[in-house]
């Protein structure tokens, strides 16, 4: 998957964040950056991944719009938390219900639901002020796909401990399959480049 991640970063168009307040180029993430990226994908007729979540009578919760997905670095989680008070960012635990939330989902703002991962791409020292630049990849539903290879079905491999280890203590369990990933519509992808609100070392 890291190969596909790097392919998307190199092939998709980029938008520099400009709504933050750190004075760098790109800036840290601001609410207007989320709105701009969502508007761009809407204009390109991208499909949203998730339908909205209707509001419920739960203290501190709020409705969630139909959304695209954005993959961001875990290093930006403190910046996302800062958007809660200033820009209406909704943390995942404040969704009306969590039935459609993904395990890595951090929250949502406008029409973008944010997933965080330590594997999200970062260009170290690449900003105008030599800060780290984070590639926040926003995807529409039709942007990428995976293709199963013909003539090769999935294999479940199991070897019991008697055959897997010298002392018959450890078993082997694996899945083997052949597939390929592909970008199907690059107009449904945008890389939102940003820096951090504070350049302190993580």
The pLDDT tens digits along the chain (202 residues) read: 677 788 888 888 999 999 998 999 999 999 999 999 999 999 999 999 887 776 666 666 777 888 999 999 999 999 999 998 888 898 888 887 777 788 899 999 999 999 999 999 999 999 999 999 999 999 999 988 877 776 667 788 888 887 766 777 788 888 887 777 888 888 999 999 999 987 655 5
Q: How many domains does the chain have?
A: 2
Does the residue 199 lie in any domain? no
* Residue 9 shares a structural domain with residue 24: yes
For 176, phi then psi, to 5°, come to -125, 130
Does the residue 200 lie in any domain? no
Q: What is the pTM of this model?
A: 0.79
Does the residue 201 lie in any domain? no
């Amino acid at each position: 998957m890291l190969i596909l991640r790097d392919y998307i970063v190199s092939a998709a168009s980029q938008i520099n964040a400009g709504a933050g307040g750190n004075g760098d180029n790109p800036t840290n993430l601001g609410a207007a950056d989320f709105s701009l990226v969502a508007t761009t994908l809407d204009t390109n007729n991208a499909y949203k991944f998730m339908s909205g979540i209707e509001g419920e009578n739960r203290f501190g919760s709020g409705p969630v719009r139909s959304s695209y997905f954005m993959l961001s670095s875990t290093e930006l989680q403190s910046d996302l938390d800062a958007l809660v008070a200033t820009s209406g960012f909704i943390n995942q635990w404040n969704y009306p219900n969590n039935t459609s939330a993904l395990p890595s989902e951090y929250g949502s703002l406008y029409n973008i639901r944010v997933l965080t991962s330590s594997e999200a791409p970062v260009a170290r020292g690449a900003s105008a002020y030599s800060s780290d630049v984070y590639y926040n990849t926003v995807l529409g539903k039709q942007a990428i796909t995976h293709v199963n290879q013909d003539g090769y079905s999935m294999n479940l491999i199991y070897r019991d401990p008697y055959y897997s280890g010298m002392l018959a203590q450890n078993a082997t369990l694996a899945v083997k399959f052949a597939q390929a990933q592909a970008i199907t519509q690059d107009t449904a992808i945008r890389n939102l480049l940003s820096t951090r609100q504070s350049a302190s070392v993580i």
